[in-house]
Amino acid sequence: MINKPIYTVLLTIVFLFNIQACLAENIEQGSAQALDLQNALDLAMKNNHHIRSALATLPIAQASLIIAKYRPNPFFGTNNEAVKGGSLHPAELWQTFETGKKRHWRVQIAKEQISKTELEIAKMMWEIHTKVHVGYADLAIGHELYDLTSERVSFYKSLFNSAEKRFKAGDLSKLELERVKIQYLTVENELSELDGKLKKANVEFNHLLGNEVKEEATIKKAETLIPHSKLENYPGISDILGEAFSKRLEIAILEREYGIARAQLKKAKSDRIPNLLIGGGPVRPSYRDGIWGLFY
């Protein structure tokens, strides 16, 4: 069972998410300038609506644990038999006692549901974390490719203008002019295609950060994105797979679902056992005399 390590990681993530409010002013100032990757991650953890909606489900799951711990309320009342010589119960108290560990399994189901919700929130945060990395890289590389292609368009435009002048002067054939024109139009089409991809990447990146989709995301240049390690420094693929499977949040969520199903089955078996109802109080068996007693 994957329990304590992931739960500790989740609490750490939620704690870091909560302190983002203290960093809001610095983050807003950073958004007006070139965002680095850490600023982008902070904004996503703070503003992404998927994370906000996932966190909103946690109090609901926690409330289910409070409800599961409730015990049956006692019943207090009075009873008067409206017949000749009927008995009088001026006060009586009844209490239901649950048998068969019903409350235990009810609480266990609620705890497993809370743990599952926490893992789902951690999974959502991790997915957003990964998407921000990919979106940031796509946007940074997209800007670099767009700038490079713009330079190529300028080069081929000047080349085409020069070719036109040479053609008018009779120094260049029509075939050569058309060839230069095709190259120029091809690069222009590439620039138009890159512009569309860049706008799409910008919209998706702003969506991850919780910003307006039409806002222009200003990030640092791709040349600043330097890998921290080389491929040959990574461990073997078997070690990577073993570690990945031991830490997969999906596996932990499936384990929680198994725990919920197991607790529900145990509770269903306990529900078959009748509860115990005990009551008592003072009683006067007959109106004809003043004798009082107790009943139970």
Rounded to whole angstroms, the Cα distance separating 114 from 120 reads 10
pLDDT digits (tens, 9 = 90+) for 177-213: 899 999 999 999 999 999 999 989 888 888 888 888 7
Rounded to whole angstroms, the Cα distance separating 267 from 32 reads 56
Nearest to 43 by CA among 68, 23, 63: 23
Give the class (CATH, top level) of 4-72+101-275: mainly alpha
Alpha-helical segments (H) within 48-101: 49-68
Under the banding of pLDDT at 50, 70 and 90, the label for residue 28 is: very low
Token pair 């609506």 is found at 49
**Is 273 in contact with 100 (CB distance < 8 Å)?**
yes
In 10 A of CB 161, how many CB atoms?
12
The pLDDT assigned to 240 comes to 56
| Single pTM value for the model | 0.65
The pLDDT assigned to 33 comes to 66
- Is the pLDDT confidence value at 96 over 50? yes
**C-alpha separations of 249 from 45, 50, 204 in Å:** 18, 17, 25
Domain range annotation of the chain: 4-72+101-275
The pLDDT assigned to 236 comes to 59
Mean pLDDT score, 141-150: 89
